[in-house]
Chains A and B, each alone.
Chain A
Amino acid sequence: MIVRLRTTKIGKIRFASHRDIAKVWERSLRRAEIPLVYSEGFHPRPKISFGLALPTGAESECEYLDFHLDDKKYENSKIVAIPEVLTTILPEGIEITGMVKMQNKYVSLQQSVTSTTWEIEVEENKEFVDEWVDHVLSSEELIIKRTRKGKEVVDDIRPYIREISVGQGDLNRSTLQAELKTQPRSLRPSEFLASAQPNLTMARLRRLKQFIDTGDNEIGPLELGERLNSDQELCPS
C-alpha cells in the first residue's frame, strides 16, 4: 500500500537539507517499526519517495512524501495511528498534518505537482515591492540567464508566474505570496526575485501550498488519495 503524508518543516529544522531529511525519514520509519517494502537487487532500499526539494533554510507548511507500506505485516488499526506515532518520533518542527492511501493509478509527487505557493519575506518596503510586482505582472516576458550543465542558458520565466500578492512585513519589510509553476521545471523563489531589476533581497522563505492542476481545477496532493479513516483531520488544500 502506498501511503502519502503531508508534513511541516518549521523552526530550527529548516536548516537541514533535503538529503538530511530523507535520512531522518528512513530512520524514523524504522524506529516507529513501520514495515516498508524494499527494492529488489543487491542494495535493497526502502521504497520512500519525496516531493519537490525544499531549499535548505526554507520553512514549509506542506511537504509531501510517499512510502510503500508492507501492509501484510501491519494491522489496519495501526495504520490510522501512523501520523501520531511518527510525529512523536520525528525531530521538532516536523509534524504530520495529513495522510491518505494512494490509488492504484499512482503518479509520483515530482511528476504530478504543477505549482507551489511561497511566502517570501523581502528586505524592501511594501511601496517598492508593489511597484516591482506591477512591473513583473505586466511584462510579456522575463528573461533570466542561468547555468545548466555548465552552459549558460537564457530562460523566459514569465510563464512560470501565476499569481503574486504583496503584504506588509515587519521592520519596513514586505511579504510576497507567489504561486510559481513547477512544470516543466521548478522555478526557484530566488530566480523569481531576480526576474526584474532591481532584484529583491530574500529574508525568509516558507512554502505554503502545493497544487496539482487537473485541467479543470487545482487540487492538493492529498486529494488524489483516499482517506483511511473518516475521523482523519484532512485539510484538502
Chain B
Amino acid sequence: MSSVWETLEKFLDNVEKPARYIGLEHGAQRPPHLESNISWLLTYPDVYEVGLPNQGLQILYEILNESPIAEAERAYAPWVDLERIMRSELIPLFSVDTHRPASEFDVIAFNLSSELVYTNLINCIDLAGVPIKSSERTEEHPLIGAGGHCVYNPEPLANIVDFFALGDGEEVITDITKVMHEFKSLESNSQDRRDLLHQLSKIEGVYVPSMYEATYNNEGVQVLEPLFDDVPKLIEKRTIVDLEDWPYPKEQLVPITEVVHDRLNVEVFRGCTRGCRFCQAGMITRPVRERPDQQVRTMLQAGLKRTGYDEAALTSLSTADYSGIREVVEETVADPVNCGQVSISLPSLRVDAFTVDIAASIQNARRTGLTFAPEAGTWRLRQVINKLITEEDLYGAVESAFSQGWKRMKLYFLIGLPTETDEDTLGIARLAANCVKIGKRYTNAASVTVSVGGFVPKPFTPFQWFGQNTVEELDRKVWLLKDEVKKTKGIKLKWHDPKATLVEGVLSRGDRRLGDVLQAVWSSGGVFQEWSEHFNLDLWMSGLEEYGLSHEWFAYRHRDAAEPLPWDHLDAGLYKDFLWQEWRDALEEKGLEDCRWIPCYDCGACTGYGLDHIVASTSPPVGGSQGTWQDLENGNFAPQLLQINSKAK
C-alpha cells in the first residue's frame, strides 16, 4: 500500500474541514518514493491550520527535496473526528502530499513548539502504527526525530523520540540524511538500529537519548552519563552563520484552505539580543543574524508574485529592530508591481511611536487593531525581566496609534514573574486604564484588550532556577485584575488558564520520568491539550500520581546554583555563569542593555561560532529608549564589530 487516499476519501464527507487532509497546496511536492532515498515525514503535531504555516518545517521540506538522496512529505495531527474514523477503519497516519502511510517513511520528524503538544506527538506515532517507546522499535520502524524550541529540554520525551536536533535545522538535516543514507546502502544484516543511532549521536547538534544513562540522586535530581566514550558529554546546538546562504522557503506553500498566518512570510533576521529574561526564544536563537535588505526585497517581490498573496509579513523576534525596516516596507508598498494592493504586517511590534509610524505607513485602511507587549505592570518589574520599556514609551506608542486612526489596542502581559507583588499586578490595570484614557481623546470607540498569561520558566533563560507561581496564586492574580479592570470602561481582560500553565511548567523543566506520565495522559484520551476545550488537568494529576511524581517538585520549586538541571548535557550557546549572573541581576532589579549597540558582555552565543552579530546598522534604532536602555544621544558611537570573523573554532 502506498496511498491511503482511496479509503480516506470515503470518510471525508463526515469530518469537519476536510480540506485539511487533501494537500494540493501550491508549492507541494510529490516525491518519487525511491527506495534508495531517505524519506522524511515532517510532522507538525497539531491541526493543519496551525501546522502548515510553520516556517521551520517548510524550510526543511525544501532543503530535503532538493537533495539527491532525500525526499520529504508533510503530516499534521488529524482532528479528533477523523482520528476516530482512522482508528475504526484502520487508516494509518498519512502524508498530505501523496497520502503515503507514515510507517513507510525512514524518519518521522516532529516540530515541537509547545509542551502541550507532546501527547499529540505520541498519538501521531501510535496512529502511524509504530511502537511509542523507542526501545520497543526495531529496524522495520521509522526513526522518530524532533526539533524546535522545546527540544532544549527534551527529557520528558527521551524514552519516546530517537533523536533530537538542536538549533538551526538547515545544515544538520543534511548531515543526518547522509549518515542514514550510508547506513541504508550498506544493506547488511548485522546493521542494527542501535548502531545507526550511535552514529547519529556523533553528529554535532544531534542528541540521542538512548546513548545516555539517567541516574537520580538522593534528592531525586536526574544526572545523565554517556554510555560510550565516543558519545559527546555536551551536545552543542547548530547555528547557521549567514542567513543570506539560506533564502528559504523559496516556494512557500500556499494552502487551499484558510490557515493561521495566511500570508507570505519573509524572515528578516534570526536571534534577538534585547535580553528579556523570561524569553527563551531570545536566548536560544542568539546571535542576531540579519538577512541583507536586498535579499529581503527580492524574496518579497518574487514571493508575492509566485504566491498571489496580497499580504506579506516580515518575521523575526522583533521586526522593528531590523536595520532599514522603514525603507524595505515603504518600497514594497510603493512598488508599482503591487498596484497598491499589498499590505505588510509586522507581527512583533516594539513598544514605541516610531514603530507605530512604520505601521501607519503600510496599513493604509486596515487600522483594526495593534498589539504591544509591555509584559509587566511596573517599571520595577520590567527591570527585573529586562523588558526596559518606560511608561512614556507605551503611552507615546498608544497615543500615536489612536491619533492615526486605530481604535483597538491589545496589550500582552505575564503574571507570576519573579518578585511580582500585587502592586505590579495591579499596575497592569493602571497602564491599561491610562491607555483607554488616551484613546478616548481621539475616539469614543477606544478599547484596550489586556491579555495575561501565566509565566512558565524555561530552560536556558535566567529564570530557569525560579519556582513558578501555583495555580491558586495565578488564579488569585487573575481575580485581582478582573476586579480592578471593571473600574474602567473600555478594558477587556483575557487570560490563559493557570492549570495549563502548570502542565507547561512541569514539562518545561521535567526529566525522563515524565515519559510514562505523558503516555498515561495520552492513553486516557488526553490529546490536543493545547486546545482549551480538550485540556484536562485531572488526567495530568492522576498520571503524575500513578508514577509517584510531584507537580510541585517539578514546577513550583526554586533551584539553586548547585543543582544539576535536566538539560545540563545540552549547550544552547549561553554560558551558565552568564545566565546565573543575569538571574542575580534580575533579583536586584538591574537591567542589561542590548549588545547589538554596546560592547559585548559575553553571554557565550557568539564565542565559538566564529561570528558576531550581523547587523547592517551600527546605530541603535531611532525613537525611544525602549529595550536598549541606553543614552540615545551617544547611540551612534556604540562600538561594534559587525562582520563574520574568520571561522575560528
Contact = CB atoms under 8 A, between A and B. Distances in A.
Interface of A: 12-13, 15-17, 19-20, 23-24, 26-31, 33, 35, 38, 42-44, 56-57, 91-93
Interface string B600-617: 000000000000000000
A167 B401 CA distance: 65
B295 interface: no
Interface string B518-538: 000000000000000000000
29 contacts: A12-B5, A12-B9, A12-B24, A15-B9, A15-B12, A15-B19, A15-B22, A16-B256, A16-B257, A19-B258, A23-B258, A26-B308, A27-B26, A27-B254, A27-B309, A29-B308, A31-B305, A33-B305, A35-B339, A38-B341, A42-B365, A43-B365, A43-B366, A44-B341, A57-B12, A57-B13, A91-B24, A91-B256, A92-B24
A13 B309 CA distance: 20
A194 to B, nearest CB: 16
Given A30-B308, A43-B365, A56-B18, A17 B23 contact: no
Nearest to A28: B308
Closest 5 A-B residue pairs measured CB to CB? A27-B308, A15-B18, A31-B308, A30-B308, A12-B22
A19 B256 CA distance: 10
Interface in B292-310: 305-310
B96 to A, nearest CB: 10
A30 B310 contact: yes
A67 B12 CA distance: 31
B21 interface: yes
B24 A57 contact: no
B128 to A, nearest CB: 22
Interface in B357-373: 365-366
A1 to B, nearest CB: 18
Interface of B: 5, 9, 12-13, 18-19, 21-24, 26, 254, 256-258, 305-310, 339, 341, 365-366
A42 B309 CA distance: 19
Nearest to B17: A17
Nearest to A17: B19
B21 A15 contact: yes
A189 B527 CA distance: 36
Contacts of B12: 15, 57
A91 B18 contact: no
B365 A57 contact: no
Most buried by B among A17, A26, A30, A57: A30
Contacts of B19: 15-17, 20, 56
Nearest to B25: A91
A13 B18 contact: no
A33 B341 CA distance: 13
Nearest to A19: B258
Nearest to A202: B13
Nearest to B365: A42
Nearest to A42: B365
A81 B306 CA distance: 19
Contacts of A30: 308, 310
A45 to B, nearest CB: 10
A23 B365 CA distance: 20
Given A12-B22, A57-B18, A17 B257 contact: yes
A27 B254 CA distance: 9
Contacts of B341: 38, 44
Contacts of B366: 43
Nearest to A93: B24
Contacts of B310: 26, 30
Nearest to B338: A30
Contacts of A24: 256
A91 B26 CA distance: 7
A38 B128 CA distance: 48
Contacts of B26: 27, 91
Nearest to A35: B339
Contacts of B305: 31, 33
B255 to A, nearest CB: 9
